[in-house]
């Protein structure tokens, strides 16, 4: 017997549905690439917790992958732009030299 699927994740106005692979911000669907979705899912699964960049790269592409931090930066830039356009600006916080985390939402 299969258990329930992945649970919905909510952070402020953002709702992520891993089972449906959908992202909704303030009631409007936001089209994300698979990688953008996985980045947001990683952060939303650990609200407020710092995610070290190298650990994110490993989680997204595997430890044997030659993917660099710059690839992660490119996906983050696109994800931030899409979230900002949907009304969730500055939700992904960069702590320079440390990593990333979701910013507090009212």
Residue listed under structure tokens 């303030």: 26
pTM of the model: 0.88
Angle, CA 101 vertex, CA 75 and CA 16 arms, to 5°: 70
Inform me whether the pLDDT recorded for 1 exceeds 50.
no
Q: For residue 47, give both structure tokens.
A: 């609200």
Inform me whether the pLDDT recorded for 17 exceeds 70.
yes
Q: Supply the DSSP symbol for 48.
A: T
Residue listed under structure tokens 């994110």: 56
């Amino acid at each position: 017997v299969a258990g329930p699927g992945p649970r919905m994740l909510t952070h402020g106005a953002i709702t992520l549905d891993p089972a449906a692979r959908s992202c909704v911000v303030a009631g409007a669907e936001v089209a994300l690439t698979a990688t953008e979705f996985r980045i947001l899912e990683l952060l939303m699964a650990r609200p407020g917790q710092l995610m070290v960049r190298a650990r994110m790269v490993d989680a997204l592409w595997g430890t044997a992958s030659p993917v660099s931090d710059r690839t992660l930066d490119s996906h983050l830039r696109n994800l931030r732009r899409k979230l900002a356009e949907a009304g969730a600006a500055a939700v992904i916080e960069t702590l320079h030299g440390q990593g990333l985390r979701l910013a507090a939402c009212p």
